[in-house]
């Protein structure tokens, strides 16, 4: 998308967003995130809240204070008053995780209508890891023999080439219906879409997909969108960081254990008295370590 | 809202929308609809569709043709790529019908936070009608004694004044909690909100609320929003008119009857043979009259 | 609703829910909550999760453990697999707060179709309170002159009677269209609806409407639904209590302050060093008191 | 799922649904649709409508008449009062089309947690067709050389075997993280999910996916669910057929042309006078042929 000559508008503007509009941020080997339009800015969030709470909130809160109050107390509807639109390109397996976020608008490339391009994801060598043992869903951090990484990449690439040749034989030479021929294509194939979402739901998406438990590949897309969001609505992003991203939730049992620790009990006996054990105990121990810094 | 000095942007612009942004359209005695922001234009709808269908659709369809094709065949997702935001003021009973459209974002004035203003809806004399007999939900078109209309307006106004005085006694002099005092206020009280919705869902709202069976009061708000929409996305609005607003749906039985009529049967026996009777027969007769023009 | 003779089914059953089905729980002076149907039980939540995570989760977690893990880590989709339907009767101002929860299905009594009954909410004397000073949205806890409470109730009741007489004059004697006549009716009028929602969204509703900041009147409805939920899905309710209702969220600054306190700093200087001040400081002080028990 | 001994309940029962609950309907070579739970029946739709319209609708409409009225006039909310849950197994490319229906609840098998089974879709020979020429998205009806069909199936199967061997080498022998290894798997791989949706949204899904333009593979799943729906809510299904499935929508131009034809004009000149041409003319001609039967 070449940038058209800037135009004049009466709409709310975000200088930070304007700066980045139209710029493709490369992700993985062939993917990207490209912000293409937005609606609203930090001030529109505040203005929507003042419709609810009345002009007298002006005495109590300045704009930043009110916005932080909204985020802190989960008054989420004013954040729905901003909207953003991205063009994105990503492997199908990433798209499949992404689409689970239902409160969004999507137009995706259809392989019934168009022929699949020869574009597949192969992970960078350093991103090839073995299955984590302690975590059913993730990768292990441990070092892995470079020769194995190379073999993995080679196997993937070879399979992609062979599969794409079969796809071409089916959809091209034999003239088989595209909707059928595409069934051989792997979920490493790149797809594209335009994705539009309001800021509240985007932040919810980010809180899930920036999480260390999210798969690396989708996390990189989330990070690119988080970077745009910081430029677009800096106050909302800051509040999101302070009250959501870097916030810590303590369960009823954890609160009980913490109360005992603050009262002078040692950690082990406080946890036991509070009833924390097994996985929950390990989670609390990790939280305490994080709190202690 | 004073209009700020126009600013420069890289976003998609709609000249027609820009023209109307910020202008309050008065509705009823004290209400209004004011478009305050929008995202996207006709071309963005087309562009989103081309992401799905591939660039080769360019050979088959020009932009207007593709947009009309999408509307005709209910390919609705590209229309979700446009978004609009209105500030609106309306009686509570209108807001209660409006809020039933769930796929929208709303920030409404809260009477827990702010004191209710002395603003109530009294219908214009010519809008005061008696209950329709043939239609459980509507008003009768028949003429009505002007003295009765005047009495109705007088009764309403007097009740509003008296009720508002009680509200002031409760919330003002006695200092009762606003959330409690407001319970005396009638649904003719004006409320305000900011309402944001995507174009697909706006068109769905309009198709229901522009309908002659919708209550007059909400229909006037729908008309104001439809007028904005025509300026904002003229091609989408035209297609909406041709394929939705002025379209006609025929049921299985009606298709059967119409087939017989086209085959030369007279209307009465065609309807009977097709199994149309009672209310469905009356509905079909009305449709036929509309088709015959 | 009289209870029909119990019938046989192949569906998932919740004994606790069956017990309560059809029973009206009275709320306020004339309202009620009546559970009328449900789908799924605790085990269906677990079963849905095992579809995602595979049968091998059985080795790691028993049913209760897995369900608690899901709640703790906000794996929310399995909780959407249960659904519940209530018939409810409540004042319009309560219905207006309630309807803001959009992910639900609703069929509400329409005053366009039916004549309004003479049923209005008058708060019990002990629930009549003055406006809170430190809290723009709420009621004050402080004692209030019983004579004032009596006057408030009297004023409300008198206004309701007078207004209903006008409504009857308009809709009855004068034959004015119901949709117009109803505009005089206050938001204390009782309305009715059937409301259907999935368990995840119900728990979200409950977490907001059981909160002490929610208006007393809607809180009572939430409590009745929470009581049904405890009978219906006891394991999910218990997990909701432990990880949501009685959980505590600490912001980035609060985590920093707590770290210093755990390291031996005194509270005041820890808060100052962490940057907590004003309202956020007061909120943290209250949290610390809650943690200390 | 073995069938447990039938249990007693106070809930609304549908005899037709009970009959089919738990039975797997085989689809394609390895897929299935299995209804596992439901909420509500035809009568609950009617009962929800009577809450809105008041008991006096009983005089005007019997149950079937009211239900048909609701469907005919798109009063959709009472249909949301029924809910159904299916367990389904289908190729990933079918799941990708299916998931676009956002108003539903889903728990899908995750290949981050579990190892992919060796289950891939290979179309039956008679379903292997060439690309349609007049329809960018579909298959051609024309006969195709059986040898080509056999080759296509053979190529697909060989590629699936080879790819699965690579997957096993990656995820098995080399111990690569499952989330990464799965990227080689094709969209013909079978996945599973539990899918829950309300009746209104199910009917919308069916109206799109039973359409001849829907891809054959997903259409077969839609047909299985439509068959269950006929047993579960026979009156709603009948109304859906009469007023939606077999209904015909005429555009503004088509209404104009039909008016002229009914007035005696010949078809060609009526169409021209009404402004129908190109693709719209062909569509109208096909509709007229359908009407004439």
Three state DSSP letters for B124-185: CHHHCCEECCCCCCCECCCCCCHHHHHHHHHHHHHHHHHHHHHHHHHHHHCCECHHHHHHHC
* Beta carbons of D176 and A128 less than 8 Å apart: yes
Q: What is the pLDDT of residues D205-250, one digit of tens each?
A: 999 999 999 999 999 999 999 999 999 999 999 999 999 999 999 9
Q: State the smallest CA–CA distance between residue A290 and chain C in angstroms.
A: 8
SS3 call for C193:
strand
Question: Are A121 and A78 within 8 A, CB to CB?
Answer: no
* Beta carbons of A72 and C291 less than 8 Å apart: no
pLDDT score, position C134? 73
SS3 call for D157:
helix
Which residues in chain B have Cβ-Cβ distances shorter than 8 Å to D53?
A: 136
Domain A1-121+188-247 matching CATH 3.40.50.1820: the answer reads no
In the set C209, C252, C260, C282, the catalytic residue is: C209
Please, which residues have CB within 8 angstroms of residue B196's CB and are 6 or more apart in sequence? A80, A81, A83, A198, B83, B84, B85, B86, B104, B105, B106
SS3 call for C32:
strand
In the set B50, B209, B219, B279, the catalytic residue is: B209
Confidence check on the interface: ipTM exceeds 0.90, yes or no: yes
* Local confidence band at A61 (pLDDT 50, 70, 90 cut-offs): confident
Instruction: Count B/C contacts: CB-CB distance under 8 Å.
Output: 151
- Separation in Å, CA D252 to CA B201, B244, D100, D257: 21, 8, 30, 9
Out of B243, B256, B258, closest to residue D251 by CB:
B243
Give the C-alpha separation, B111 to A180, whole Å.
58
Please, which residues have CB within 8 angstroms of residue B73's CB and are 6 or more apart in sequence? none
Q: Two tokens at C207?
A: 């977490």
Give the C-alpha separation, B149 to C176, whole Å.
9
Which residues in chain D have Cβ-Cβ distances shorter than 8 Å to C66?
A: none
Please, which residues have CB within 8 angstroms of residue A268's CB and are 6 or more apart in sequence? none
Nearest to D200 by CA among B61, C105, B50: C105
CB atoms within 10 A of CB A167: 25
Question: Are D215 and A179 within 8 A, CB to CB?
Answer: yes
* Beta carbons of C250 and A246 less than 8 Å apart: no
Give the C-alpha separation, C2 to B288, whole Å.
47
Alpha carbon of residue D77 to chain centroid: 20
CB atoms within 10 A of CB D19: 12
Q: Which chains does chain D touch, 3 or more C-beta pairs < 8 A?
A: A, B, C
Whether A101 shows a pLDDT value over 60: the answer reads yes
pLDDT score, position D4? 63
Q: What single string gives the DSSP state of each residue in A94-159?
A: HHHHHTT--SSEEEE--TTTSPPPS-B----GGG--BBPSS-TTSB--S---HHHHHHHHHHHHHH
Give the C-alpha separation, D109 to D100, whole Å.
17
Backbone angles phi, psi at C2, to 5 degrees: -75, 155
* Beta carbons of B39 and A39 less than 8 Å apart: yes
pLDDT score, position D217? 98
* Beta carbons of B252 and D242 less than 8 Å apart: yes
DSSP state of C29: T
Alpha carbon of residue B154 to chain centroid: 29
* Local confidence band at D138 (pLDDT 50, 70, 90 cut-offs): confident
Nearest to C199 by CA among C81, C106, C42: C81
* Beta carbons of D250 and B246 less than 8 Å apart: no
* Beta carbons of C9 and D11 less than 8 Å apart: yes
Q: State the smallest CA–CA distance between residue A161 and chain D in angstroms.
A: 11
Please, which residues have CB within 8 angstroms of residue A134's CB and are 6 or more apart in sequence? none
Q: What is the pLDDT of residues B7-56, one digit of tens each?
A: 889 999 999 999 999 999 999 999 999 999 999 999 999 999 999 888 76
What rounded mean pLDDT belongs to chain D? 94
Backbone angles phi, psi at D191, to 5 degrees: -125, 175
Q: Which residue of A has its CA nearest to C54?
A: A136
Q: Which residue of A has its CA nearest to B16?
A: A9
* Beta carbons of C155 and B176 less than 8 Å apart: no
Whether A230 shows a pLDDT value over 70: the answer reads yes
Q: Which chains does chain B touch, 3 or more C-beta pairs < 8 A?
A: A, C, D
Instruction: Count A/C contacts: CB-CB distance under 8 Å.
Output: 85
Compute the half-sphere exposure of residue A177: CA atoms within 13 Å on the CB side of its CA.
24
Q: State the smallest CA–CA distance between residue D279 and chain B in angstroms.
A: 9
Q: State the smallest CA–CA distance between residue D6 and chain B in angstroms.
A: 38
Give the C-alpha separation, C189 to D103, whole Å.
33
Whether D256 shows a pLDDT value over 70: the answer reads yes
* Local confidence band at D40 (pLDDT 50, 70, 90 cut-offs): very high
Whether A55 shows a pLDDT value over 80: the answer reads no
Nearest to C41 by CA among C232, C237, C189: C232
SS3 call for A278:
helix
Whether A60 shows a pLDDT value over 70: the answer reads no
Please, which residues have CB within 8 angstroms of residue A96's CB and are 6 or more apart in sequence? A187, D92, D96, D99
Disruptive mutation site among A110, A174, A194 for chain D (greatest number of D CBs within 10 Å): A174
* Beta carbons of D247 and B253 less than 8 Å apart: no
DSSP state of C28: T
Out of D110, D129, D169, closest to residue A177 by CB:
D129
Q: Residue ranges of chain B with pLDDT lower than 70?
A: 1-5, 56-60
pLDDT score, position A1? 44
Disruptive mutation site among A1, A38, A81 for chain B (greatest number of B CBs within 10 Å): A81
Q: State the smallest CA–CA distance between residue C48 and chain B in angstroms.
A: 27
- 0.80 surpassed by pTM: yes
Which residues in chain C have Cβ-Cβ distances shorter than 8 Å to D89?
A: none
Active site residue C209: yes
Which residues in chain C have Cβ-Cβ distances shorter than 8 Å to A262?
A: 261-262, 288, 291-292
* Beta carbons of A9 and B6 less than 8 Å apart: yes
Whether D287 shows a pLDDT value over 60: the answer reads yes
Compute the half-sphere exposure of residue D16: CA atoms within 13 Å on the CB side of its CA.
14
Out of C139, C155, C170, closest to residue B170 by CB:
C155
Q: What single string gives the DSSP state of each residue in D187-255?
A: TTBEEEEEEEEEHHHHHHHHHHHSSTTS-HHHHHHHHHHHHHHHHHSHHHHHHHIIIIIT-EEE-HHHH
pLDDT score, position C1? 44
* Beta carbons of C255 and A291 less than 8 Å apart: yes
* Beta carbons of C49 and D12 less than 8 Å apart: no
In the set D68, D87, D182, D209, the catalytic residue is: D209
What rounded mean pLDDT belongs to chain A? 94
Q: State how beta strands C83-91 and C190-198 pair.
A: antiparallel
Domain B1-121+189-247 matching CATH 3.30.1360.170: the answer reads yes
Give the C-alpha separation, A215 to A218, whole Å.
6
Q: State the smallest CA–CA distance between residue D41 and chain C in angstroms.
A: 11
pLDDT score, position D55? 72
Look up the CATH number of domain D1-121+190-247.
Answer: 3.30.1360.170
Q: Two tokens at B185?
A: 């206020």
Whether D293 shows a pLDDT value over 90: the answer reads no
Task: Tell me which architecture the domain covering C1-120+192-247 has in CATH.
Answer: 2-Layer Sandwich (3.30)
Out of B112, B121, B139, closest to residue C215 by CB:
B112
Secondary structure tally for chain A: helices H, strands E: 13, 7
B179: left (phi over 0), alpha (psi -120 to 50) or beta: alpha
* Beta carbons of C83 and D108 less than 8 Å apart: no
Which residues in chain A have Cβ-Cβ distances shorter than 8 Å to C263?
A: 292
Instruction: Find the DSSP H helices in B183-277.
Output: 199-209, 216-232, 234-240, 252-262, 267-274
In this structure, is the dihedral angle defined by the CA atoms of residues A21, A27, A29 and A31, taken in order, positive or negative? negative
Q: Two tokens at B37?
A: 């922001």
Which residues in chain D have Cβ-Cβ distances shorter than 8 Å to B283?
A: 72
Q: Tens of pLDDT along chain C (293 residues)?
A: 455 677 889 999 999 999 999 999 999 999 999 999 999 999 999 999 999 888 766 666 799 999 999 999 999 999 999 999 999 999 999 999 999 999 999 999 999 999 999 999 999 999 999 998 877 778 887 878 999 999 999 999 999 999 999 999 999 999 999 999 999 999 999 999 999 999 999 999 999 999 999 999 999 999 999 999 999 999 999 999 999 999 999 999 999 999 999 999 999 999 999 999 999 999 999 999 999 98
Backbone angles phi, psi at B186, to 5 degrees: -85, 165
């Amino acid at each position: 998308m070449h940038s058209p000559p800037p135009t004049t508008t009466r709409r709310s503007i975000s200088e930070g967003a304007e700066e980045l509009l139209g710029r493709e941020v490369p992700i993985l080997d062939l993917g990207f995130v490209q912000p293409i339009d937005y609606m609203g800015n930090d001030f529109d969030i505040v203005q929507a809240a003042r419709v609810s709470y009345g002009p007298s909130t002006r005495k109590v809160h300045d704009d930043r204070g009110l916005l932080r109050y909204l985020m802190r107390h989960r008054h989420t509807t004013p954040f729905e008053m901003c909207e953003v639109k991205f063009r994105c390109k990503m492997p199908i397996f990433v798209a499949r995780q992404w689409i689970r976020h239902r409160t969004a608008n999507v137009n995706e490339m259809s392989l019934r209508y168009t022929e699949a391009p020869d574009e597949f994801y192969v992970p960078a060598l350093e991103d090839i890891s073995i299955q984590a043992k302690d975590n059913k869903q993730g990768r292990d951090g441990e070092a892995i023999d470079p020769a194995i990484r190379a073999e993995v990449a080679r196997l993937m690439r070879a399979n992609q080439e062979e599969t794409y040749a079969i796809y071409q034989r089916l959809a091209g030479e034999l003239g088989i219906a595209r909707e059928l021929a595409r069934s051989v294509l792997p979920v490493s194939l790149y797809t594209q879409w335009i994705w539009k979402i309001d800021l509240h739901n985007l932040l919810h998406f980010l809180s899930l997909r920036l999480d260390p438990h999210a798969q690396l590949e989708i996390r990189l897309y989330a990070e690119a969108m988080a970077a745009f969001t910081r430029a677009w609505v800096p106050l909302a992003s800051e509040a999101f960081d302070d009250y959501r991203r870097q916030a810590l939730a303590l369960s009823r049992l954890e609160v009980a254990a913490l109360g005992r620790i603050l009262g002078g009990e040692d950690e082990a006996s406080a946890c036991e008295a509070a009833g924390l054990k097994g996985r929950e105990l390990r989670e609390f121990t990790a939280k305490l370590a994080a709190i202690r810094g």
